[in-house]
């Protein structure tokens, strides 16, 4: 028997929320992800093949860095689409982001835009 990590294992991710109903609506309605299951402990979403388990907690302090991100083929189109759904993109002083909040790292053609979920978790869209 091997002690290697199973090659067939798939990744999942976890986020905490203080308001499950609000977070559930955001991931389902605003971002458009499908609910896979829900029980007394969490709601699970399919993020295009990656499972997100969203669990309610009494106290939670979001981190100041990106905790979940998506690679998209056209970050500008994705930002515009989410903006029409009420998403506000973060603008960080001194970063040199464009009018949509999209940042292009110096010497790169990559593009990144950041936004918050209802609990203040930093999420991102990137194009490489």
Strand 12-17 with 111-116, pairing = unpaired
Q: How many whole angstroms separate alpha carbon 18 and alpha carbon 60?
A: 7
Phi, psi angles (nearest 5°) of residue 55: -115, 135
Residue 12 pLDDT exceeds 90: yes
DSSP letter for 55, please: E
pLDDT the model gives residue 2? 61
Each residue's pLDDT tens digit, 46-59:
999 999 999 999 99
Each residue's pLDDT tens digit, 77-125:
999 999 999 999 999 999 999 999 999 999 999 999 999 999 999 999 9
pLDDT the model gives residue 1? 47
Could you tell me the pTM of the whole model?
0.92
Q: How many whole angstroms separate alpha carbon 66 and alpha carbon 64?
A: 7
Once rounded to an integer, what is the mean pLDDT over residues 51-72? 95
Domains and CATH numbers, the chain: 12-59 (3.10.180.10), 61-128 (3.10.180.10)
Q: What is the CA radius of gyration of the chain?
A: 16
73 close to 127: Cβ distance less than 8 angstroms: yes
């Amino acid at each position: 028997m091997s002690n290697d990590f199973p090659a067939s294992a798939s990744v999942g991710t976890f986020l905490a929320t203080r308001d499950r109903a609000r977070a559930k609506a955001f991931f389902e309605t605003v971002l458009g992800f499908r609910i896979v299951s829900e029980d007394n402990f969490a709601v699970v979403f399919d993020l295009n093949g990656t499972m997100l388990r969203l669990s309610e907690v009494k106290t939670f302090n979001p981190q100041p860095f990106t905790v979940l991100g998506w690679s998209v083929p056209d970050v500008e189109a994705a930002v515009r689409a989410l903006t029409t759904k009420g998403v506000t993109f973060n603008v960080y002083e001194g970063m040199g982001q464009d009018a949509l909040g999209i940042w292009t790292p110096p010497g790169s053609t990559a593009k990144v835009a950041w936004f918050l979920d209802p609990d203040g978790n930093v999420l991102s869209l990137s194009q490489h």
